[in-house]
Amino acid sequence: MTARVLAQRTVPLLAIGIAAALLSFRPIYEPDLWWHLAQGREALSGHIVRTNLFSFTHPDYRQQFTPWLFDAVGYAAWRGAGGTGIQIVQAGLLALTFGLLYGACRLRASAWSAAAVLAIGFFILEPRAIPRPHLVSFAGVAACTFLIERASAQRSARPLLWGVPLVGLWSNLHVECVFGVLLLAIYSCAELVRPSALPRSEALRAVALAGICALATMANPYGWGLVAYLYENLSVPGVLAIAELQPPYLPAYRAFYVYLLAGALLLALQPRSLRLWEVLALVVFAAAGARYLRLTPLVLLTTAPMLAARLTALSAWGIDRRAILITASCAALAVSRVPVRMLITEVSVGTKAVAPPQFFSADAIAFIREAGLEGPVFNSHNLGGYLALHFYPEVRIFQDSRLQAYPPEHFRGIMAASRDQSEWDRLVSDVDWAVLSSPRPNQLS
């Protein structure tokens, strides 16, 4: 093996590893992590969570779906290596995502153009790079994109067969497996209507496989509950103004908007190479990201190969590839949500990184144990999962950030009582101790 070939293989792997590490080994504030770990503990003990068992206010309220397998893996990592274990799992999922996207790009584009697209992609993923099950969906959607590129390269639906076990496993890890199915459906149906990469007979097979993948979303303990959970999630903004269910805002999400503009421009410059499924994928997933900021990564994960291919084509027009790569890299640095130096200088490893003590106090946990406090507790919204992880079943919580684990009336009651002292007294009449932490004002703080 020549030094050139070795470099071509090792440099991308090294870059992927560094990118994943920078997004994983840093301080975070993520209240949802703790109830995922609490649910994972229950799953590993043989109990799949189906009701709001951590709560004293609504312990029997049904849970349509939980990402039980992700939660179980997360809790095992926590038990084995604490916060470092959580960071390792996150880094592994992000590395897998970058690796699959790079591989998908390379099936029809050069290495430098793949690097240019992923340079901006790094900063699209950065705001959402937190230890939650959507990391699995990053890798899952990237895997579907890779399968589509393989199918197009081979002019065969055969690679899409892997989508069935992929979606079946994924349905136990995160609800957004439905977006992988949606991408496969867009590709297969568009190829059937207007063939570009697949013969029509293969497109028919692809449509059938997309249908089987849709059925595979029920290969989890909750069955149809996964779809019901996703549908129910659409109603949350009508009750609470949750940040991740709002449109992406500037300047924090400028990388997303720059990517959309660049993508639209690249496709418009080369209309003869446009495929129907590419246009549909860009429009559908760009619209999803523009509506809900939690979905902003989807447009990158589904369109990176098509944009990389267009960048490669630009070099045939006489544009120097080094100029394209340097321009893309500088643009990526310019659209970063945080100062780039902070990604390098603020590296943090271990429990202190995932449980910053100013928000999640180990001293408070020790005091509760020493004082023998138990039973119903009034807690701030962000600490419900943290208390459930450390004290369930001796302690039952008032609320947490599993918004669909409580009836909407629960949160409406909290907001109404915050404006009426007598209502507040009635609301908390069953508790005589509290644990509070309010890092930022919101409707429930």
pLDDT tens-digit map of 342-387: 888 889 999 999 999 888 989 999 999 999 999 999 988 889 999 9
Q: Peptide bond preceding 305: is omega within 30 degrees of 0, i.e. cis?
A: no
Is residue 314 scored above 70 in pLDDT?
yes
Nearest to 379 by CA among 389, 355, 371: 389
The string of pLDDT tens digits covering residues 326-350 is 888 888 889 999 888 888 888 999 9
Q: How many CB atoms lie within 10 A of CB 319?
A: 13
CA angle 257, 262, 265 (to 5 degrees): 125
Alpha carbon distance 165, 178 (integer Å): 14
Is residue 153 scored above 90 in pLDDT?
yes
Confirm if 178 and 185 have CB atoms less than 8 A apart: no
Contacts of 414 (CB under 8 A, 6+ apart): 399, 427, 444
**pLDDT for position 90:** 98
Instruction: Render the burial of 362-371: b for 16+ CB within 10 Å, e for the rest.
Output: eebbeebeee
Q: Considering the chain, what percentage of its residues have pLDDT values greater than 70? A: 96
Both structure tokens of 290: 């523009």
Mean pLDDT of 422-437: 85
Label residue 374 exposed, middle or buried (CB < 10 Å: 0-12, 13-18, 19+): middle
**pLDDT for position 258:** 95
Confirm if 56 and 399 have CB atoms less than 8 A apart: no
**pLDDT for position 443:** 60
Contacts of 397 (CB under 8 A, 6+ apart): 54, 55, 56, 377, 379, 384, 387, 388
The residue among 217 and 314 whose pLDDT is bigger is 217
User: Where is 375: in which H helix or E strand?
Assistant: strand 375-379
Alpha carbon distance 430, 376 (integer Å): 7
Alpha carbon distance 428, 241 (integer Å): 23
Confirm if 51 and 63 have CB atoms less than 8 A apart: yes
Is residue 98 scored above 80 in pLDDT?
yes
Structural domain spans, the chain? 3-30+64-345, 357-435
pTM: 0.94
Nearest 10 degrees: Cα torsion 253, 258, 260, 261: 150
**pLDDT for position 444:** 59
**pLDDT for position 194:** 94
Residue 439: pLDDT band with limits 50, 70, 90: low
3-state secondary structure of 205: helix
The string of pLDDT tens digits covering residues 225-247 is 999 998 888 777 666 667 788 89
The string of pLDDT tens digits covering residues 9-42 is 788 899 999 999 999 999 999 999 999 999 999 9
Exposure of 401 in the CB half-sphere (CA atoms within 13 A) = 23
Both structure tokens of 319: 């544009």
Mean pLDDT of 140-160: 97
**pLDDT for position 239:** 62
